[in-house]
Amino acid sequence: MISTIGKKLFFLTAALQVLVLAATLGFLERSQARQWEEHLHTQSLAFARLATPELLRFFRGTFPPSQQPPPRELRELLSFNQDLMQFSLYAPSGRLLYASPLLGEAAVVAVGDLLEADPGSLRVQQPQTSLERRQLGGEHFLDLIHPAFGPTGEHVLSVRYLISSAGIRELQAATRADYLRIALIAALTSLVLAALMARWVSRPVRQLTSGARALARGETPQHLHLRGRDEIGALARAFNDMASSLAAKHGELLEKNTALAAANQDLRQMQDSLVRAEKLAAIGQLAAGVSHEIDNPVGIILGYAELLRDEFPDGDARREDVETIIRECQRCRRITGGLLGFARQQPTHCEPLDLNTLAADILRSLQVQKLFRDIRWVTSFAPAPVIVAGDSDKLRQVLINLLLNAGQALNGHGEICLEIRRVDGCAEILVADSGPGIAEADLEKVFEPFYSTKERGQGTGLGLAVCRKLVDEHGGRVSAARRANGGAQFRVLLPLAQEEKCFDISPDNSLG
């Protein structure tokens, strides 16, 4: 069970209030009980002072036998004290003169047992009032002895009154019940007040806790609306200031992280470009030397093979072997030619060029070739000319290489999509096919020199590397991706040409 400050405050406050209420009501109950007892004592003494002379007047020295009912007038006088149980008359020597029978409804105990057990001879001999509390058979009562004096002031007799405390006990019980009811109502009210106070104190603490946890999770907490001028209000205002400062610092940190990530990305791209440039330069130097040394002997072999092929008639098995030699020599020359083209750093002649027109010309020249005759073309060109500053021959080579790769991937059957459009201030060329696609791990490797996913003998591994090299020369980017519905997609981004300002003056506005 989680112990919260609200629960602690509730239990402590409730316990303190209940203890204070119990102590207060207990003190009040005891004080009231003492007041009732003092009232009984005072009332009994007053009754004794009033009744003793009347008893002396009634009896006038003649005492009937004990237990004989007193006269009616005397009973009416004594009936004013409903708590009177019995009275007795004693001579100054302590001799019992008269003992009345039990009187009133309060006489519920055997008073005779008390009289036999304590005749009060010593007390009745004293010419002074004596009051004692007695208990017999579970009943409480007062044992009051009041002396009577003659006309000359001599002590003539003593009257002993036995007064029941039952009425006072009932009043005390009723008072105690009232106090208990008051205590119950006060306790319930105290619990409600304690709960409200605990809720009032713990609510801002819970809000502060929730805000602190939100900060720990990296979130921006809501503003705490605590307008109190106490310590909790000051803490809430300090928390709001801290949260605002952290939010501002967090925003600045995010901006710096974004800028740092962009700088790292640019640095990584520059590093990749430098590494690729160094690699291409090394490969170009090697390729130039190798191509020069291999191309000459391969050319001689190819020439002699062509002459030898003419010596064999059609259908001769040796003619097929020679044709195989010729094909492999031609393949070697294509590889060396590609190497030389890859190694040469030819100047780029940039001029305004419409990609829509360039793509349309390339499509017309490719669609008649055997590789593309059974392929379905899906084209989407921008409605307006897409002008870039580039070398038409090099961009033509890029687009042809991408389309040839797509056709070879389809093996002559399938769909090729060609799309040209403007995207974020750049010209975008999309070439996609419905072929088997490119593995995720090969998406970046396909642009490396001599890396090919085709079967052995089907490619040199230089086509896409040349494409990237030519696109980089134009300040663009080329990337490969997998299509969601299967196949491969190549994306070329080229910067659009800057619009030239026209300073031609129309004849209507000429000054001449």
Crossing angle of helices 231-311 and 317-343, in 10° steps, is 140
* Statement to judge: residues 97 and 241 lie in one domain: no
Q: Strand pairing partners for 492? A: 429, 478
Best-predicted range by mean pLDDT among 2-16, 293-307, 459-473, 475-489?
475-489
Residue 205 pLDDT > 60, yes or no?
yes
**Residue 138 located in a structural domain:** yes
**Residue 382 located in a structural domain:** yes
Query: Which among 291, 320, 345 is the end of a domain?
Result: 345
* Statement to judge: residues 446 and 315 lie in one domain: no
The pLDDT of residue 340 is 67
Q: Long-range contacts of range 499-505, CB-CB < 8 Å, 24 or more positions apart?
A: none
Q: How far apart are CA 342 and CA 344, in angstroms?
A: 6
**Residue 475 located in a structural domain:** yes
**Residue 399 located in a structural domain:** yes
- Identify the DSSP state of 223: P
Number of domains in the chain: 3
- Report the candidate in 491, 493, 496 with the shortest Cα–Cα distance to residue 418: 491
- pTM confidence score: 0.42
* Statement to judge: residues 363 and 312 lie in one domain: no
β-pairing, 477-482 vs 488-495, is: antiparallel
Cβ contacts of 36 within 8 Å, gap of 6 or more: 168, 171, 172, 175
* Statement to judge: residues 338 and 353 lie in one domain: no
Q: How far apart are CA 99 and CA 114, in angstroms?
A: 12
Q: How far apart are CA 157 and CA 97, in angstroms?
A: 9
Q: How far apart are CA 505 and CA 508, in angstroms?
A: 8
- Identify the DSSP state of 212: H
**Residue 71 located in a structural domain:** yes
| Average pLDDT estimate for 277-286 | 66
**Residue 94 located in a structural domain:** yes
β-pairing, 414-423 vs 375-380, is: parallel
* Statement to judge: residues 66 and 149 lie in one domain: yes
Neighbours of 387 (CB within 10 A): 17
Tally the C-alpha atoms within 13 A of residue 283's C-alpha that lie toward its C-beta: 18
Q: How far apart are CA 77 and CA 51, in angstroms?
A: 8
* Statement to judge: residues 377 and 462 lie in one domain: yes
**Residue 214 located in a structural domain:** no
**Residue 215 located in a structural domain:** no
The pLDDT of residue 185 is 86
Per-residue pLDDT tens over the stretch 384-442: 999 998 888 888 888 988 998 888 888 878 899 999 999 888 999 999 998 888 888 77
Q: What is the CATH number of the domain that holds 64?
A: 3.40.1840.10
**Boundaries of domain holding 161:** 5-176
The pLDDT of residue 508 is 46
* Statement to judge: residues 378 and 491 lie in one domain: yes
Residue 119 pLDDT > 70, yes or no?
no
* Statement to judge: residues 298 and 386 lie in one domain: no
Per-residue pLDDT tens over the stretch 304-343: 888 888 888 888 888 888 888 888 888 777 767 766 666 6
Across the chain, what does the average pLDDT equal? 78
Query: Which among 146, 176, 206 is the end of a domain?
Result: 176
* Statement to judge: residues 150 and 41 lie in one domain: yes
Structure tokens that stand for 439 in this block: 């593995």
Per-residue pLDDT tens over the stretch 51-69: 888 887 777 767 777 666 7
* Statement to judge: residues 354 and 413 lie in one domain: yes
* Statement to judge: residues 261 and 313 lie in one domain: yes
* Statement to judge: residues 305 and 392 lie in one domain: no
Burial 316-342 (b: 16+ CB within 10 A, else e): eeebeebeebbeebeebbebbebbbbb
Q: What's the start-to-end Cα distance of the chain, in Å?
A: 99
Q: Strand pairing partners for 390? A: 351
Residue 24 pLDDT > 80, yes or no?
yes
DSSP secondary structure string, 309-322? HHHS-TT-HHHHHH
Percent share of the chain, pLDDT over 90: 8
Q: What is the CATH number of the domain that holds 422?
A: 3.30.565.10
The answer to whether 489 and 430 have CB atoms below 8 angstroms apart is: yes
- Report the candidate in 444, 450, 451 with the shortest Cα–Cα distance to residue 479: 444
- Report the candidate in 151, 122, 160 with the shortest Cα–Cα distance to residue 44: 160
Q: Long-range contacts of range 331-334, CB-CB < 8 Å, 24 or more positions apart?
A: 331/457, 332/294, 332/298, 333/295, 333/298, 333/299, 333/302, 334/460
CA 382 to chain centre: 49
Q: Strand pairing partners for 416? A: 377, 433
Q: What is the CATH number of the domain that holds 322?
A: 1.10.287.130
Percent share of the chain, pLDDT over 70: 80
Best-predicted range by mean pLDDT among 136-140, 214-218, 376-380?
376-380
Sole residue written with tokens 């020599």: 329
Query: Which among 299, 320, 345 is the end of a domain?
Result: 345
- Report the candidate in 512, 439, 445, 436 with the shortest Cα–Cα distance to residue 479: 445
